[in-house]
């Protein structure tokens, strides 16, 4: 009897050893990981590379470790891709494999674990959300329906700046007024609503909650609890604040915008297409049972985050570069005057006739990319990339900023020189026809909002330059263009004071 037990134990042990050897051989062979700094237990590379994995730090690491490298951030794998060929592989050739998104503990809260569109994994839900959002937001018909509204909004900005006595003397923080404009541009599309002034209490509340959400989500403060799950209990306080902000924000969207729109719709004849705004289309999808009310709220949440600040940052960067490069500003003003004639105000249709304006926008998006690492991608399953094995659920960062600022691929990339897009890079478009230049990404998860962002940027920068001379405040020769980055966003650190002198 004992012998039988011993025999069984020995056979069991033998089988276990064989399985272990096979598994370890299989694993060893399977996991040829990308290069990277040597990880230490528990922390991985976190202590070596720190919290702030911004586009510049990651570009330095790419110079050291190559076009693809791996960082272990606690328990998370982070793969950074820094060449046009590998970007093509991630975003295009293997677009399905790498088409999901990673979330972290904080993004889980703000997106209801991916009930939205921007942060959901690649699959049925994402396809449905993207389809439902396309007609109301992302077509040329939408541009044509709302361009007059955008032109009116920027005309109101020009008027307010003209009326401000400080604007032409000590200067104003132009961004504040432009923020109201961007909210109005997007809230007209979403709800057919606008805010009268910067002091409108609803606007103030909305702006504060959106700002709080961005700050909490983009902060590095919570990294430790995300990288090292056993430390998560220490994040309880932070996550509680995130939950409160999320609840208050979604409630605000519901009470003041969604329910208001439903009320209005119920009092109007339902087949009046001319009056339909985006949310009416989205509510129709809800009525058909395609999505639920939470999804509707997360669509509103996504537009608030993805559309308003990104475009505003780009406008702000454009202004900063034009202030700091007066000859470029002058050249742009000259183009507008000579193509349209003095006094004719830039419209959406005009922006297509102004190549230098287009080049200024492209150059701003190249040097000052609002989302320099794209929104993080993720592979749901084990995958291969550049000859390496990428473990399932790795966070994949495409360093789009480095692709567009790598001296190996661009002439003097540090220089703000719009002419490059009329000369040696004349064929390069923002829509992603060249894998060195992806300010909106490319492929399945690329930015659908490009169709709105480019005309808004053109109308806004065009109108400002044709109506004002934009200058640094008295006593300064340039404005500060230091950068502030977050988990994946990039904006100007200081919202500078700008002098806007009306043209005679």
Residues that bind ligand HEM (CB under 6 A): 91, 117-118, 130, 137, 302-303, 306-307, 310-311, 314, 370-371, 374-375, 439-441, 445-449, 452-453
Tell me: is residue 447 an annotated ligand-binding position: yes
Minimum Å gap between C-beta 242 and ligand HEM is 21
Q: How far apart are CA 59 and CA 394, in angstroms?
A: 19
**Residue 457 · residue 465 · CB < 8 Å:** no
* Minimum CB–partner distance for residue 408 and ligand HEM (Å): 22
Residue matched to tokens 């959106």: 210
CB of 447 to ligand HEM, least distance (A): 3
- Decide: 214 and 305 in contact? Cβ < 8 Å: yes
Packed helices 124-137 and 293-303: angle between N→C axes, nearest 10 degrees: 60
Q: DSSP secondary structure string, 384-438?
A: EETTEEE-TT-EEEE-HHHHHH-TTTSSSTTS--GGGGTTTTTT--TTTSSTT--
> What token pair was written down for 212?
């709080």
**What tokens were used for 478?**
């340039």
Give Cα 219 distance to the centre of its chain: 15
CB count within 10 Å of CB 469 equals 17
The residue of the chain with the least Cβ separation from ligand HEM equals 449
CA 246, 248, 249, 253 torsion-angle sign: positive
In the complex, minimum distance from the CB of residue 239 to ligand HEM, in angstroms, rounded to a whole number: 24
Distance CA 251, CA 209 (A): 11
Nearest distance from C-beta of residue 121 to ligand HEM, angstroms: 10
- Residue placing its CB nearer to ligand HEM in the complex, 134 or 251: 134
At closest approach, how far in Å is the CB of 413 from ligand HEM? 18
Compare residues 300 and 374 and give the one whose CB is closer to ligand HEM. Answer: 374
The whole-angstrom separation of Cα 108 and Cα 119 is 9
Nearer Cβ to ligand HEM (111/302):
302
Q: Which is nearer to ligand HEM, 355 or 448 (CB)?
A: 448
Cβ-based nearer residue to ligand HEM, 100 or 406: 100
| Of 46 and 440, CB closest to ligand HEM | 440
Q: Which residues are annotated as a binding site?
A: 447
Q: Which residues are annotated as a binding site for heme?
A: 447
């Amino acid at each position: 009897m004992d012998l039988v037990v011993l025999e069984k134990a020995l056979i069991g042990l033998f089988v276990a050893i064989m399985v272990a050897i096979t598994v370890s051989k299989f694993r060893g062979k399977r996991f040829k990981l990308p290069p990277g700094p040597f990880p230490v237990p528990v922390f991985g590379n976190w202590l070596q590379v720190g919290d702030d994995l911004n586009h510049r730090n990651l570009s330095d690491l790419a110079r050291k470790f190559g076009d693809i490298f791996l960082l272990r951030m606690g328990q998370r794998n982070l793969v950074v891709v820094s060449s046009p060929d590998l970007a093509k592989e991630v975003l295009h050739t293997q677009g399905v494999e790498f088409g999901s998104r990673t979330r972290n503990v904080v993004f889980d809260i703000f997106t209801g674990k991916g009930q939205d569109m921007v942060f959901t994994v690649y699959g049925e839900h994402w396809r449905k959300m993207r389809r439902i959002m396309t007609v109301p937001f992302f077509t040329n018909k939408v541009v044509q329906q709302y361009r007059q509204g955008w032109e009116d909004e920027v005309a109101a900005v020009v008027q307010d700046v003209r009326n401000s006595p400080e604007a032409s003397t000590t200067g104003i923080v132009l961004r504040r007024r432009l923020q109201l404009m961007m909210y109005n541009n997007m809230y007209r599309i979403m709800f057919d609503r606008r805010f009268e002034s910067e002091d409108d209490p609803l606007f103030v509340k909305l702006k504060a909650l959106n700002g709080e959400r961005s700050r909490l989500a983009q902060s590095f403060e919570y990294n430790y609890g995300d990288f090292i799950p056993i430390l998560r209990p220490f994040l309880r306080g932070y996550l509680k604040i995130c939950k409160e902000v999320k609840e208050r924000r979604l409630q605000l969207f519901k009470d003041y915008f969604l329910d208001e729109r439903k009320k209005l719709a119920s009092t109007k004849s339902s087949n009046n297409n001319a009056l339909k705004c985006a949310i009416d289309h989205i509510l129709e999808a809800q009525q058909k049972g395609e999505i639920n009310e939470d999804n509707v709220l997360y669509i509103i949440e996504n537009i608030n985050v993805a559309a308003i600040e990104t475009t505003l940052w780009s406008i702000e960067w454009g202004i900063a570069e034009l202030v700091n490069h007066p000859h470029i500003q002058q050249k742009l003003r000259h183009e507008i005057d000579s193509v349209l004639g003095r006094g004719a105000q830039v419209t959406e249709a005009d922006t297509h006739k102004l190549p230098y304006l287009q080049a200024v926008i492209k150059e701003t998006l190249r040097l000052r990319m609002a989302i320099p690492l794209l929104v993080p991608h993720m592979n749901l399953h084990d995958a291969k990339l550049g000859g390496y094995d990428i473990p399932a659920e790795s966070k994949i960062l495409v360093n789009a900023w480095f692709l567009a600022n790598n001296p190996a691929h661009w002439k003097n990339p540090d220089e703000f020189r719009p002419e490059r897009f009329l000369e040696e890079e004349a064929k390069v478009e923002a829509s992603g026809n060249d894998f060195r230049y992806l300010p909106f990404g490319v492929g399945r998860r690329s930015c659908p909002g490009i169709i709105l962002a480019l005309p808004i940027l053109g109308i806004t920068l065009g109108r400002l330059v044709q109506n004002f001379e934009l200058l640094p405040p008295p006593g300064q020769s340039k404005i500060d263009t230091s950068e502030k980055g977050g988990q994946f966003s990039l904006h100007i650190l200081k919202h500078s004071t700008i002098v806007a002198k009306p043209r005679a």
